[in-house]
């Protein structure tokens, strides 16, 4: 490591002011992505603005139509929170299967979304549930938030203060995980809403999380495992690497969608 300044403000506004005052500063969530990157010298921020002590970003609130999770809530707290388990058990289940216990105790939902790793779990839920990312200055709908690999609609000095999730009738996630990291080789989140519509978020399979139109159309007609398994996904533009071919990832998407439906029906 090299030397850098460290600040731990109590309020979101102070965090943004501190970051804006130094063009090379970065927000620090749980440090589970940023600190390894710094160790590898792939990032060398002059200052870290730690947002994990900002109390307004650490709460979970359940209203009649939405669940709001503060940007600094760690994965373990999402997994164990009673309101998350009651309103969106599929989301609690997803959080409880991120990485290992250490990663879950430190990593935050805001950090995960800002980082936008193409194999991260949360982006699939945010997209499928049509969540809204609330920042210190605006509200960004899920369809407009994820741009490309490690690239979101956030400005460099923009802070995720919360994420608002509409309540779905059924929601579930399944991933084929990399056994070393537990990141998704492919991960699929399915969400069925009260009006019968279905949204699906796929992570790990392409350069960014995406919604497979054919699966959404099939599941909106018939929200069943058989319906998911009846869909064929084209491998064009899917990831191909040492872990899996594009064809294998394409094959996994409907398979995991079916398993995600089974999970969604089990809560
Ligand atoms: C061994 C290991 C296994 C993992 N397995 C998984 C897995 O299975 N699934 C999965 O989804 N993830 C996995 N992760 C990633 C983990 O979930 C991280 O916690 C997450 O990617 C980053 O969150 P963080 O709070 O640690 O962010 P940090 O590392 O602190 O920050 C990441 C980036 O986000 C920015 N940032 C942080 N907070 C905010 C905010 N509130 N607003 C705006 N910008 C912000 C930072 O400036 C930085 O650019 C794994 C990580 C490790 C080390």
Per-residue pLDDT tens over the stretch 144-201: 999 999 999 999 999 999 999 999 999 999 999 998 888 999 999 999 999 999 999 9
Work out the pLDDT band at 2, boundaries 50, 70, 90.
Answer: confident
Q: List all residues whose CB is within 6 A of at least one atom of ligand 1.
A: 26-34, 51, 71, 98-99, 103, 106-108, 110-112, 114-115, 117, 120-122, 159-160, 181-183
Residue 195 alpha carbon to ligand 1 centre in Å: 33
Residue 181 alpha carbon to ligand 1 centre in Å: 13
Q: How far apart are the first and last CA of the chain?
A: 44
**Both tokens assigned to 206:** 């392409």
Domains of the chain: 5-50 (3.30.43.10), 58-166 (3.30.465.10), 170-266 (3.30.390.50)
Q: Which atom of ligand 1 is nearest to the CA of 28?
A: 30
Rg of the chain over Cα atoms, rounded to whole angstroms, equals 18
Helices (H), 81-172: 82-87, 89-95, 101-106, 109-115, 122-128, 142-145
Determine which residue's CA is closest to atom 38 belonging to ligand 1. 111
Averaged over 119-142, what is the pLDDT?
A: 98
The whole-number pLDDT of residue 1 equals 61
């Amino acid at each position: 490591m090299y030397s850098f300044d460290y600040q731990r403000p109590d309020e979101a506004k102070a965090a943004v002011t501190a970051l804006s005052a130094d063009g090379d500063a970065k927000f620090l969530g749980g440090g589970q992505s940023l600190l390894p990157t710094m160790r590898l010298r792939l990032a060398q921020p002059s200052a870290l603005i730690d947002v994990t002590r900002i109390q307004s970003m650490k709460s979970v609130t359940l209203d009649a139509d939405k669940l709001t999770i503060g940007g600094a809530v760690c994965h373990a707290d999402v997994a164990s929170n009673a309101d998350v388990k009651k309103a969106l058990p599929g989301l609690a289940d997803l959080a409880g299967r991120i990485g290992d216990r250490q990663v879950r105790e430190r990593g935050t939902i805001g950090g995960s979304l800002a980082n936008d790793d193409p194999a991260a779990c949360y982006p699939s839920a945010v997209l499928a549930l049509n969540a809204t990312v609330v920042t210190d200055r605006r509200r960004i709908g899920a369809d407009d938030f994820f741009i490309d690999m490690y690239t979101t609609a956030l400005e460099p000095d923009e802070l995720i203060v919360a994420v608002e999730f509409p309540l779905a009738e059924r929601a579930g996630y399944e991933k084929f995980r990399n056994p070393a990291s537990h990141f998704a080789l492919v991960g699929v989140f399915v969400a069925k809403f009260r009006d019968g519509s279905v949204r699906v978020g796929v992570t790990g399979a392409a350069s960014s999380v995406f919604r497979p139109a054919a699966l959404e159309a099939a599941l909106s007609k018939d929200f069943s495992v058989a319906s998911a398994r009846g869909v064929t996904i084209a491998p064009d533009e899917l990831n191909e690497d040492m872990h899996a071919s594009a064809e294998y990832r394409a094959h996994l998407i409907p398979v995991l969608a079916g398993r995600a439906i089974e999970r969604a029906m089990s809560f």
